[in-house]
Structure 1
C-alpha cells in the first residue's frame, strides 16, 4: 500500500537568509519531505529585499510576509492580522497540516492558533530551552501553554528539550516525540576528505591521522551568535587565559551579535590581534571552510536544546569542547567531546586538557566524519516526522502510532477535536484568569474566521498549481524497519523517538 502524502506549511519567523540551527532544520526537513512525495511550503517574514514568493531548490516555495521585526528576527505579535494572509495561503496551496517551529516565533504561534480555527491539523517543534523564574520565561511559558493546549502533537529535538517543554506547557508526555536535528554529511567533510563527485564506485575513505608536534599551531574555532545565552561572556574571559597557558594556540571566531564589541575590546586590551581572528557573520555554506581550518571546536553555551553546530564540527573532524548543559550531552559520544561546567575556570581547564591530548596524539579525529554520518541523517528525521503526520491525521491507528492501546489511557483518544466547545474546554484549563482570556481570544478568532469566509469566499481564491511531485515509495515495511532500527541505534543516550 502506497504511503499517503500531505500538503504541509512550515511556519516560523526563523528562516533563510538569516543563519541558524532552526533555519537549517526547517530547510533540510522540508527538502527531505518533498523528496518523499509531500508538498511543502514555508511561511516566514520578509527579510530586507526578500518579499512575496520565492522558490528554492527542489521546488520549495517560500512566502515572505511583510510583518514588522522587533527583536532577534521575531515579528511583532499581532494575534489576528496574520489570519487573512494565512487563510489565503492555506486555501491557495490546499494545506492540510500547519507545522510551526520555535517558542519565540510569533508567526508560529499565531499560525497554529488560526490553523486550528480553520480545521487544519497542527504540529509544533520546540528547538529551545527556557527557565521558569524570570519574567520573560514566565510570559513565554504561559503563551506556549496557550498554543500547545490545542496542538495535535509536539516534537522536541532532545530528551532534555522534551522534559523542559512538557513542564513549561503542562503537556501530556505522550503527546511529545523526540526527533533530533541532523547534518548533511557531504557538506561537512574534513579538510582532506574527497567530495562525493570525486568518489568512484567502491570508494572507501581511508583518512590519515592529523598528528601534531609540540610546536605546531593548534587552532580553536568558535562559530556562534554572539549573545549572552551562547556563553560569549565566558568566551571573552577564557580566551586570554587559554592563550597564555598554551603559546602555540590561536582562535578563529565567526558570528555576530551584541557581545561582539566585548570580544573586540578584549582583543585590544590584551593585544591578541595576531592570535584571535574575528570573521564576523558568515553564510551557512561557508561554515565548513572555516571549521576545516581548526583542530578544536569550543562551544561555551549556557543553554542549548541540541547544538547542531557541534555535530557539524565533529563531522568536519574537529574535537569538541562544550559545556555540559541542556541536551548537549545527548548529541555526541564521549570520545568526540570534553565537557565543562558553564564556568570560566572549567572551560579553561577543559580546553587545556583537549589541547594537551591532541598534542600527545591521544585524540584521533580522522574517523569522526564517517561516525557522524551514520548517527545523523535528514532522511531519517523526515521519515520519523512523516510518521507523526500519519498519527495525527489518522492514517495509522493510535495503537500503532503510540505503541500501545490508548483507549484506557487518560480518557482515551489522543486526537484533538475541532469542535469549538471542546477547544474552549482545553483553553479554559490554562489558568484562573489566563484561561478566560485565552477562551475569549479563541472565540474572537472563530468569529473573525466566519467573517473572512463571508467577506472573501473560498471559491474566489485561485488554487495554485502544484510543483511536480516525486512519486511516494510503496514499500512501507522498509520505512517501519528503519524507524525500529533508529530507535535502538541512532541515540547516544536512549531512543530518540521516545514518547
Structure 2
C-alpha cells in the first residue's frame, strides 16, 4: 500500500481523507489483473505476479523493480507502506522504494520464533528490510516485543496500532440462536498453527461433559481430515457441523448462530476473528498466546493455556457465564473500543513521523546494512548497491520526467458538490 500527500487533491474515504489518498499494489488474483477502482475510490494495482504458496509470489529481488518504479512515479507517491513479513512483494517494494528515496513504513502482523530453520531465515530477511525503514507498526505490544527482538530495531521506532472491526458488518442477531442448546463456533484455517490438533482433543471431551453443546466448525486446511476422523470416531456427526471454507461475507451469518467463539491458536499476534465474534455478541474462549490477552476486556473473554484439559475447563466456565452476557451491550462496547477511523488517525501519525525523517544518501544507508552481521551485512550491501545501479539504468532508459502521470480520480462526493 502506498499513500500520497493529498492536500490539493480530491478527497478519498481513507486515512484522514483531506490529507491522503491511498493506492494499493498487490499480486494478481486469478483473472483479476491490472488496475481496478473500488466503490469507495480506492485504486488497486494487481501486478501480473501469481502466488505459488499461501498467497506469496516467487521472490525475484529485482524483477519487480520496473513495475514498482512505474507505479510510484505515475501515482506521485509520498509514503510506501508494506505489510506482512512473509510477503516477498512487500520486501521487494520497500527495498526499491528506499533506493528511489521514498519514505517507507512496515506493518508486522504475525509472531515468529527464533529456533526453527524457517524462522531463522525469515528473521534475517526481516532484519535486512527493517534496517532501512523509517517507521514500523505492530498490532500488539507482544508483537512489538517479538519484532524488536527479531529485527534489532530500536523500540522507539515501533508503534503499536491494533486491528479493528467494522461493527456495522458484525451485528448480533439473537433470534438466529437455538434456545435449547449452546452453540460453539470455530472459524479458522485448519492448520497446525491455528490449533486444529487441539480441537481434535477438546471437542469430544466437551461433547461428553455437556450434552446440550453443539459445534459449528468453519474453515478448511490440511487438518480438516483429522477433524472429520474425530467426528466419525466419536459419532458426533449430529453435534459437530463442518461448514468448510466460509467467505468473509458470510462470517457474520455463521457467528450469530453461536453463543461462544472458540479460538485455539498456538500463536497469534492479535486475532481479528475475536473482534468479529465479540461484535456479534459472542463470549470468547481462547488460548492464552501472543497478543490475544490484550484484545478484549476480561469479562468478554475466557483465557486458557493451549492444552486440552485447560481448554475444556475454560469452555465450562464460559457456559456458566452465558446468562450474564448481553450481545447488544457487547456490540456497543466493541464499537467504542475498536474503530477503523481511530486506526486510520493513528496510522496518519506514523506517516507524519516517516515524512519528517531526514533524507539519506546511499553511503548512510549502507552503513546500517553493514551492521547486520559479519557476512550478512556485506551481502546486504551488495544487494542494495546492485539495486541502486539498476535504478540508475531505469532512469536512463525511461527518465522520470517522461513518465505518464496518472490523473486523479474525482470522488463521487466531489461530483455532487460541483
* TM-score grouping bracket, smaller chain normalisation: over 0.9
Shift of 1:365: 3.8
- Structure 2 distance, partners of 1:67, 1:261, is 31
Cross-structure match for 2:377 = 435
Cα-Cα RMSD? 1.9
The answer (yes or no) to whether the contact 2:260–2:285 under 8 Å persists in 1 is yes
Cross-structure match for 1:271 = 235
Is 1:371 paired with 2:313?
no
- Structure 2 distance, partners of 1:248, 1:348, is 15
Is 1:462 paired with 2:404?
yes
**Unpaired stretches in structure 2, ≥5 consecutive residues:** 7-11
The aligned runs of 1:145-156 (5 Å cut-off) are 145-156=127-138
- Structure 2 distance, partners of 1:116, 1:333, is 40
Q: For residues 134-183 of structure 1, give each alpha carbon's deviation from its aligned partner in whole angstroms, at most 9, with x where no partner exists.
A: 11111111100000001000000111000100110001011010111111
The answer (yes or no) to whether the contact 2:285–2:314 under 8 Å persists in 1 is yes
Choose the corresponding residue for 2:394, options 440, 449, 452.
Answer: 452
Is 1:253 paired with 2:217?
yes
Cross-structure match for 1:348 = 312
Q: For residues 29-69 of structure 1, give each alpha carbon's deviation from its aligned partner in whole angstroms, at most 9, with x where no partner exists.
A: x9522744421111111111111111212111111112242
Cross-structure match for 2:5 = 6
The aligned runs of 1:69-468 (5 Å cut-off) are 69-191=51-173, 216-358=180-322, 361-394=323-356, 415=357, 417-468=359-410
- Structure 2 distance, partners of 1:458, 1:430, is 32
Is 1:47 paired with 2:34?
no
SS in 1 for 2:122: helix
Instruction: Give aligned pairs, total.
Output: 405
The answer (yes or no) to whether the contact 1:32–1:378 under 8 Å persists in 2 is no
- Structure 1 distance, partners of 2:153, 2:233, is 49
- Structure 1 distance, partners of 2:227, 2:44, is 36
- Structure 2 distance, partners of 1:36, 1:337, is 38
The TM-score with structure 2 as length reference comes to 0.93
Q: For residues 337-389 of structure 1, give each alpha carbon's deviation from its aligned partner in whole angstroms, at most 9, with x where no partner exists.
A: 1001011111111112212332xx24444410001110111111101111111
SS in 1 for 2:172: coil
The answer (yes or no) to whether the contact 1:151–1:416 under 8 Å persists in 2 is no
Dislocated runs of 4+, deviation >4 Å = none
- Structure 1 distance, partners of 2:397, 2:18, is 37
The TM-score with structure 1 as length reference comes to 0.78
Cross-structure match for 2:9 = none
Cross-structure match for 1:412 = none
SS in 1 for 2:40: helix
SS in 1 for 2:168: helix
SS in 1 for 2:14: helix
Q: For residues 293-344 of structure 1, give each alpha carbon's deviation from its aligned partner in whole angstroms, at most 9, with x where no partner exists.
A: 0000000101111111101111100000001110000110000010010111
The answer (yes or no) to whether the contact 1:340–1:350 under 8 Å persists in 2 is yes
SS in 2 for 1:387: helix
The answer (yes or no) to whether the contact 1:117–1:418 under 8 Å persists in 2 is no
